[in-house]
Structure 1
Amino acid sequence: MKKIVLVLVLLISTVGFSQNETIDAFLEKWQNSKNYLVEIAKSMPEEKYDFKPTAREMSFGEQLLHIKGNMDWLGTTYFTTEKFDKIKDEKTPSKAEIISSLEMSFDKVYEIIKNTKPGHLKDKVDFFAGPKTKLQMLNLLQDHVSHHRGQLIVYLNLNEIKPPSYLGW
């Protein structure tokens, strides 16, 4: 009987540990993602924030604001009980304002995820693409940043600006 109890305790602690590891790994990657995106945002001169390779694409500044808006939406909607309210700003923010708002959004998501109970990563949420787990939403948060960050690197290159060195894990 003692062996069965010991095995169960070890199994339960291993499951909890791997979920904690998932959050810790996400937070480390999230911080590196923030630092890398901020460096990219700083690399583009402010007068080029309206640059877009084609008419159908978002400008450099719009891409950054889109990333910020997505972080705010996903972090709030799927990891808090707050109601997400998209605020439409009528004025075009400056480069410094965009970078500051990006940093604040990254930090807010960081705190939200840091305070997420590891066991809740298995919880299902309603998403427009069908039910997803909160773990899948973590992956979506990072994937979305990476997707648009890759576009921003192309924007820098098209303007003959050397992108910052990659900051990964």
Structure 2
Amino acid sequence: MTKMRCLMTAACCAVLTLPVMSMAQDMASAKPMPKMAVEGTPLTPAASLNAALSVFEEEVVGAAEAMPAEKYDFAPSVPGGEFKGVRTFGEQVKHLAGSSSEFFHGFGVTGGVDPKMLDNLKTKDELVKALKDSFAYAHTAISSITPENAFLALKGPENFKSTRVSMASFYMAHSMDHYGQMVEYLRMNGIVPPASRPGASM
């Protein structure tokens, strides 16, 4: 009887220990919690906008890198749909690579991807590099935003009320518009976008 009681006690201890071990393993494998900002801390426009851009950049570049090179000429074709003339995946990447020069040309910051050179880019590696260079230029342009110039009007149509902040915001919205299309292209090819995979930071 004593031997049986000992066996039952050992079994109960083992069962009770499993959730604790599982929790410890989950905690060990989990990503560390991000450091939380102190609410009310003053931030510069450049710091706040660049932080947001970094999140978008990770998603867009991740999607561009996830598509195999042989699929860069993929464009949707679904029965009953209308996809005549839509951009291929590679053309989506190329369009985004050239967009920062368009959005930030009025910031007085040199650099960026020359839109005239984009037509010479054919391979995935060339296009991904151009995309990364484009985001680097966008960060440089946004870094030039100060509290003093953030909301000064830029040259452009009066009804747009363009400022450095609004152009930076529009650039990011434009990037995510095309990112959404890239996501669909990836999923139509059986690829889960990196930002949507388990354990992704976003």
> Hey, what does 1:11 align to over in structure 2?
none
Contact 1:39/1:164, CA 8 A, preserved across alignment: yes
Aligned counterpart, 2:143: 114
1:74 aligned to 2:99? no
The 3 A distance-change label for structure 1 pair 168 and 33 is farther
**Alpha-carbon distance in 1 for matches of 2:108, 2:201:** 27
**Deviation at 1:122?**
0.7
What amino acid is aligned across from residue 193 of structure 2 in structure 1?
Answer: P
The equivalences for 1:140-159 within 5 A come to: 140-159=170-189
Q: How many residues align?
A: 150
The aligned counterpart of 1:13 is: none
Instruction: State the partner residue of 2:61.
Output: 38
Q: Distance in 2 between matches of 1:69 and 1:81?
A: 15
Q: Identity of aligned pairs, percent?
A: 25
Secondary structure in structure 1 of the residue aligned to 2:160: coil
Larger relative contact order (CA 8 Å, sep ≥ 6): 1
Q: TM-score of the superposition, structure 1-length normalised?
A: 0.78
Match of 1:164 among 176, 180, 194: 194
* Native 8 Å contact 2:145 2:164 kept in 1: no
Aligned to 2:162: 132
Q: 1: distance between equivalents of 2:135 and 2:109? A: 18
Aligned-pair RMSD on alpha carbons? Answer: 2.4
> Which sections of structure 1, spanning at least 5 residues, go unmatched?
1-16
CA distance in 1, matches of 2:194, 2:111: 36
| TM-aligned CA deviation for residue 130 of structure 1 | 3.1
- Does the CA contact (< 8 Å) of 2:109 and 2:141 recur in 1? no
More divergent stretch after superposition (27-36 vs 138-147): 27-36
Measured in 2, the distance between the counterparts of 1:44 and 1:103 equals: 15
- Which residue of 1 is the match for residue 37 of structure 2? none
Greater fraction of residues in helix = 1
The equivalent of 2:35 in structure 1 is: none
**How far has the Cα of 1:109 moved from its partner?**
1.4
Structure 2 CA distance, aligned partners of 1:81 and 1:103?
Answer: 17
Question: Structure 2: 5+ residue runs without aligned partners?
Answer: 1-41, 77-82
The whole-number CA distance in structure 2 between the counterparts of 1:31 and 1:89 is: 23
Contact 2:72–2:88 (Cα < 8 Å) also in 1: yes
Give the structure with higher Rg (CA).
Answer: 2
Is 1:78–1:137's contact at 8 Å kept on the other side of the alignment? no
What is the identity, as a one-letter code, of the residue corresponding to 2:188? L
Q: In the alignment, what sits opposite 1:48?
A: 71
Q: What is the identity, as a one-letter code, of the residue corresponding to 1:59?
A: T
Distance 2:111 2:156 in 1: 15
| TM-score (norm: length of structure 2) | 0.66
Measured after TM superposition, the shift of residue 81 of structure 1 is: 6.0
